[in-house]
Amino acid sequence: MEPYRVRVIYGDTDQMGVVYYANYLRFFEGARGHFIRGLGLSYGEVERRGILLPVLEASVQYVKSAKYDDVLEIHLSETHTRVKIRFDYKVHRQQDEAVITLGHTVHVCVGPELKPTRAPDWLLSKLEGYRNG
């Protein structure tokens, strides 16, 4: 799957002219949406089918700074159990391949009543299909 790409705009930066630290979580969210669409789904469809995927854990390691007009490529990998999905992210600057940020998020499958539930077979088969190529 192609990496998710985002061009840094002024609104992504802070007073020091670098990407504001919390914006990397927004970029991660964009990469997750890109990944889900690559499976032939959308977050909206997953939710309509009764599964929500709230973030249970998030971690970001800042390696280098990104600045206005940098194009960032976010490579994503995924592992899962029956109840949790973990996404690992590697963000690098397209122009020079410099690693900017590493991170991960862990999501728990919950039903409409917001109680943990097992991931349905249709979702697991999509994830397994991606992993197996």
The CATH number covering residue 103 comes to 3.10.129.10
- Among 65, 63, 72, residue whose Cα is nearest residue 28: 72
pTM of the predicted protein model:
0.93
- Domains of the chain: total: 1
Q: Is 69 a catalytic residue?
A: no
Q: Residue 40: give the domain boundaries.
A: 4-131
* Share of residues in the chain with pLDDT > 90 (%): 95
Structure-derived torsion over alpha carbons of residues 45, 55, 118, 49, reported in degrees to the nearest 10? -10
| Residue 129: predicted pLDDT | 83
For residue 107, what pLDDT band results from cuts at 50, 70 and 90?
A: very high
Q: Residues 12, 14, 69, 96: which is the catalytic one?
A: 14
| Residue 89: predicted pLDDT | 99
**Identity of the residue numbered 98:** A
